[in-house]
Amino acid sequence: MGRKSREGLIDVQAAEERIRQAAETHADALNLSNLGLAELPESLGHFAALRTLNLSGNRLSALPAWLGQLTALQYLELNFNQLSALPESLGQLTALESLFLFGNKLTALPKFRPPDLTDPSLGVR
């Protein structure tokens, strides 16, 4: 069971367990959606082979710079968080093909633009 805060359930333990299982099975996809996370577990930063990451439906207001080190990522879903900005380090995600940002508080897109994206603000592939 996760920890309880006044905002609701924050299931950090579930996130850590999913990360551990994915690492053990050498999975290339990870779903950490709808866990109430306000920040990402640092253990996620060691997942260099990850190609698909779903972080939708959490409470993320910022992303760590180390997320840009997951250079194999092709699909990144960040819908329905509380993001107001994206780190420039996401520009290092040169394999990224799909970036979904619906339902956030973004007022501008970052200066970087991974080469294969057409319109990340709209979640277009």
Q: Global pTM?
A: 0.84
Sign of CA dihedral 88, 46, 104, 119: positive
Query: What's the CATH number for 3-108+116-122?
Result: 3.80.10.10
| Residue extents of the structural domains in the chain | 3-108+116-122
- Per-residue pLDDT for 7 more than 50? no
Judge contact between 7 and 29, C-beta under 8 A.
no
* Structure confidence by residue, pLDDT tens digits, 9-61: 578 899 999 999 999 999 999 999 999 999 999 999 988 899 999 999 999 99
- Per-residue pLDDT for 62 more than 50? yes
* Structure confidence by residue, pLDDT tens digits, 71-123: 999 999 999 999 999 999 999 999 999 999 999 999 877 776 655 555 555 45
| Bridge-based pairing state of the strands 3-5 and 8-10 | antiparallel
